Structure 1
Amino acid sequence: MKELFSKKVLSIITVSSLSLAVGAWAYADDALKQISAYQNAGITIKVNGSSVDLSSEDGMMYPIIYEGHSYVPAKALAEAMGGTVKWNNDTKSVEVTTGGAVPSGAGIPSKDNSSTAPAAKPAAGTGKGPVAFYTPATPASTMFEENKKAAAEVLKLYAHALKTGSTTELEAWMKNNFQESEWGSTSYETASSGLSRTLEAYREEYDDQVLRALADSLISKADSLAFNEESEYSDDTYAKDLEYFVDVEGSGERGMFGVYFFYKLNQDTNKFYFGQAAFY
């Protein structure tokens, strides 16, 4: 294991003012107005103290800042408050309700419809998965920031595997989160084989006491998102690699564990999909 030292950096972002516009308008050519606004990925939206999940099938739905006001996605906010949203094309309105099933051109928010049932929450201990898809316009730096929490969660599963030798939870995480390529295949078998070899090597080199101590250190650092200076990303045309490393120490040993997130371009859909992960 490589000896390293790290600095812990914590960034706390608060929102002091929030404006939400949800309602109806007469849809016609003269109702549309092209504006110049800013998308602010640094703003966190909270409902009753809990952060709102701004992810969607098309990527993150960050607040838009226009003339000093914040405009947030109606779907994400309504669902965080236990409601649902649908686009009513007959009345040209975005309708927010507090319950009930919701049925499934510029200016029409057709992708704001809520699903007929709330999204299933991950099982306890499985961790929050990475963002599934990104457009080519999304820089790797943004992808890196948005996936930090997912990296921390899977590193905690990795720590459990280091302590127990069991890959069951990690393999379940990979099966649940790997997206298919344009050929309908995933990299699960390759990733699972690589994981098994990595764990075998660590467990041959270190005894259980040392591995437990290092794994506990990894969990603590992951909970704090304390990624070290070796953590980085690459921004290529057909692939985006996100690398998250954590310095650990315990039982007189110190070193580094980490995970690589690999995004690949699906040239049929022209989107980057989360295709594989590898562990260090």
Structure 2
Amino acid sequence: MKMFKSKKMVVGLTSLIVASSFSLGAFADTALKQITAYQNSNLQVKVNGKAIDLSSEDGTMYPLVYDGHSYVSAKALAEAMGGKVSYDESSKTVNVTTNGYTQTSAEPTKDNSSNTVPPIKQDPPTTSTSKGSASPVKTYNSDVAASQIFEDNKAAASAVIQIYARALKTGDTSEINQWLKSNLVESEFGSTSYELTSKSIEKTLKATRAVEDLNVLGDLANSAIAAAKDQTFNKDSRSEGLTKSREADYFVDAVTTGYKMKFGVYLIYSLNNETNKFYFSQAVFY
């Protein structure tokens, strides 16, 4: 049985910036711009503390992550706040109305609201967000136990391991770089490790993919993604509390025919001497 050697990489994390987005129909070619975005099924959207209904006739409208922002369906967001959405094809305009709504004469589109505002679903989501937030907790008081950090951040570790496994499978670091940009927390000195970490990840992934069988690597990555999604962390997962830091370590086993590999992440909280709080400063990938 072949064992892949693990490599460490340091990564910092913090919060996503949430915006709204919607389909505008067929613009002229000069207005269209092709982009690469990522669908984030772990991201939950709430209005006044209640999860909004992201379902549609074509399936769930999960948020999209692009260039440092998360984009949410205008229809789902507006209707969750009691509004209405319609699309005017002639003027290429999405109309959002909160009071005195009148349907436009334009033909209905997938972003057009029905005449009745649907109730907000109260059932917990079926994705891993039901087990906690996919974004790491930002700060903790100085007396927090490492075991508490471990419990609070299982969903965050799940999301991070999946991102890393996808990067190892495809060689594309844009998603993990996006995670770094969106989530990196500055120290009291105003510094981050983004540039160094991004370059290290790219170099390591390139070197690993150059020497390993890509089909096997892809199968192992898929296995790790499945285990992380279910939060099936192995016995090596643990927490550790030090005077100036707290660590929550998560590992999953990836297995395919004749091969085995361990994927993991150390979520590290460092003590900010100015605020006397632990802040999410780094993540070390295996």
Question: What TM-score does the superposition give when structure 1 sets the normalisation length?
Answer: 0.55
Aligned partner letter, 1:188: Y
Matches within 5 A, 1:60-75: none
Aligned to 1:214: 220
- Note if contact 1:188-1:276 (Cα within 8 Å) is conserved in structure 2: no
Asked if structure 1 preserves the Cα contact closer than 8 Å seen for 2:233 and 2:252, the reply is: yes
Task: Tell me if 1:131 matches 2:137.
Answer: yes
Amino acid at match of 2:49: E
CA distance in 2, matches of 1:79, 1:270: 29
1:167 corresponds to which residue?
A: 173
Contact 1:248 1:257 in 2 (8 A): yes
**Residues 111-260 of structure 1 mapped to structure 2, 5 A cutoff:** 128-260=134-266
Task: Quote the Cα distance in structure 2 between the aligned partners of 1:261 and 1:209.
Answer: 29
The SS at the match of 2:49 is helix
Q: Which residue of 2 aligns with 1:266?
A: 272
Q: Distance in 2 between matches of 1:163 and 1:279?
A: 15
What is the DSSP-based 3-state SS (H/G/I as helix, E as strand, rest coil) of the residue aligned with 1:160?
helix
Which stretches in structure 1 are left out of the alignment for 5+ residues? Answer: 4-52, 54-75, 83-97, 101-126
With over 3 angstroms needed to count, the CA separation of the structure-2 counterparts of 1:81 and 1:216, relative to structure 1, is closer
Match of 2:50 in 1: 80
Q: Give the deviation of 1:207 after TM superposition.
A: 1.4
Residues 143, 213 of structure 1: CA spacing in aligned structure 2 closer, same or farther, 3 A cutoff?
Answer: same
- Say whether the 8 Å CA contact 2:270–2:278 is kept in structure 1: yes
Matched residue SS, 1:268:
coil
CA drift of 1:201 comes to: 3.7
Equivalent pair of 1:132/1:177 in contact (CA under 8 Å): no
Q: Is the 8 A contact 1:191 1:278 kept in 2?
A: no
TM-score by length of 2: 0.54
Q: Is the 8 A contact 1:195 1:279 kept in 2?
A: no
Q: By how many angstroms is 1:270 displaced?
A: 1.1
Once residues 156 and 201 of structure 1 are traced to their aligned partners in structure 2, the CA distance between those partners, rounded to angstroms, is: 20
1:155 is displaced (CA, Å) by 1.0
CA apart distance, 1:173: 0.4
Q: 1:215, CA displacement in angstroms?
A: 0.6
AA at the equivalent of 1:169: E
Instruction: Kindly report the root-mean-square deviation, in angstroms, between the aligned alpha carbons of the 2 structures.
Output: 2.5
Q: After the TM superposition, which residues 102-113 of structure 1 pair with which residues of structure 2 at under 5 Å, given as runs?
A: none
SS at match of 2:156: helix
Q: For residue 191 of structure 2, what is the amino acid of its counterpart?
A: S
- 1:186 positional shift: 1.1
**Cα 1:81–1:212 shift into 2, 3 Å:** closer
Q: Match of 1:210, as an amino acid?
A: V
Distance 1:234 1:265, change over 3 A: same
Task: Indicate if the aligned counterparts of 1:194 and 1:278 stay in contact, CA closer than 8 A.
Answer: no
Partners of 1:211 and 1:2 lie apart in 2 by 9
Per-residue CA distance 1:202-245 (angstroms, 9 max, x = gap):
21331110111001101110111011111122201111122111
Query: How far is the alpha carbon of 1:189 from its aligned partner?
Result: 2.1
| Residue 250 of structure 1: how far off its partner (Å) | 1.4
Count of matched residue pairs: 168
Are the counterparts in 2 of residues 177 and 274 from structure 1 also a CA contact under 8 Å?
no
Structure 1 pair 259/201, CA: closer, same or farther in 2 (3 Å)? Answer: farther
Distance in 2, Cα, partners of 1:248 & 1:167: 20
Gaps of 5+ in 2: 6-43, 53-79, 83-132
Distance 2:214 2:253 in 1: 19
